Amino acid sequence: MSTQQTATHPPLTRGYLFALAGTAFWSSTGVLIRYLSTAHALPSLVLAFWRDLFAATTLALGFLILGRRRALWSTCRRHLSFLVAYGFVLATFNALWTASVALNGAAVGTVLAYSAPAFTALAGRRLFGERVGPLKIIALILSITGCVAVSGAYDPAAWAVAPLGIVIGLLSGLGFSAYSLMGKASSRRKLEAWSVTFWGFAFAAVFLLLFQAPLGQIDDLFWLGTSLHGWSVLLLLAIAPTIGGYGMYTASMRYLPAGTANLISTLEPPLTVLIAYLLLQERMTGVQVVGSLLIVAGVVLVRSRG
């Protein structure tokens, strides 16, 4: 028995460390976006474009170094229409979430986006025939209630002062839900995760570039100019939270059950709140803290059930 425990515990510990590291990386995303939006006044669509482009470029270099270029092109040729749709959904979500963080702050923006798992559970019934039991219904109610509390939508004065931030924040949660559903669809197609991730970011960058043309923001693409610090933070955003978070989380799945890894990832909203408080001095009201806990509780219900 002791021999079995000795052989089992190190891989489990490694899995927990990978999952925690991935979640910690993810939790810094909103903080870095908020910093670029405030310190450099970087427009949301421009920020989202460069983030996706840098992420896609980094992944492309990885495929070239590993000699997997043929596998990458093979995936694109066989599933082009799906990958284009995947990129469009990712571009829409990234644009909404980046705008939400810029308007609402890193903590509130992340919490609102993290309401997505409950909405995904509800949509999964219609798209994939998944069962919606009492726990999922309770989770959805908790998430909606939490969103109302975090965004301040219960107060008519909030709609008079910052209606755009509330609407975009809630839409970012729905965008995250759509992105999650596309990820589930790619899994059912048995597509290789890293290939789908690369093409998702690549097509998302193209769509984000197209989104800016009608808004006259093409001239803002080089908003950061010669600011080495700004470009460095933007590159860090693309590599550490985006690729690093995904890579660590994927690695944890080799040692942990999917349900365990999913539950660990629910630490992202409170970690973001903590980092935003320490680095950006963002504070949440008591009502917003309660709303955040309701959203996290809804996510835990859905994922523990899954």
Measure the CA–CA gap between 101 and 175, rounded to whole angstroms.
14
The type of residue at 160 is A
* pLDDT of 216: 67
23 CB-contact burial (10 Å; exposed 0-12 / middle 13-18 / buried 19+): buried
Does 74 map to a domain? yes
Tell me the CA distances in angstroms from 201 to 25, 87, 231, 306, one per residue in order. 18, 6, 18, 27
Measure the CA–CA gap between 209 and 56, rounded to whole angstroms.
14
Does 135 map to a domain? yes
**pLDDT higher at 236 or 263:** 236
* pLDDT of 205: 95
Does 264 map to a domain? yes
Does 3 map to a domain? no
Whether the pLDDT of residue 77 is over 60: the answer is: yes
The residue among 30, 90, 113 whose CA lies nearest residue 282 is 30
Q: Per the structure, how many domains does the chain have?
A: 1
Does 57 map to a domain? yes
Does 1 map to a domain? no
Does 179 map to a domain? yes
The residue among 200, 300, 278 whose CA lies nearest residue 242 is 200
What radius of gyration do the chain's Cα atoms show? 19
Q: Average pLDDT over the chain, rounded to whole?
A: 79
**pLDDT higher at 132 or 149:** 149
**pLDDT higher at 184 or 60:** 60
> Do 100 and 165 meet the contact criterion of CB atoms below 8 Å apart?
yes
> Do 46 and 221 meet the contact criterion of CB atoms below 8 Å apart?
yes
Which pLDDT tens digit goes with each residue over 135-194?
767 777 777 777 677 766 666 665 555 678 878 887 888 887 788 778 778 877 888 878
Does 2 map to a domain? no
Model confidence band, residue 4 (pLDDT cutoffs 50, 70, 90): very low
Measure the CA–CA gap between 24 and 43, rounded to whole angstroms.
25
Domain residue limits at 111: 12-305
The residue among 74, 120, 139, 109 whose CA lies nearest residue 280 is 109
**pTM as predicted:** 0.77
Tell me the CA distances in angstroms from 198 to 73, 94, 163, 171, 242, one per residue in order. 11, 15, 35, 24, 11
Whether the pLDDT of residue 264 is over 80: the answer is: no
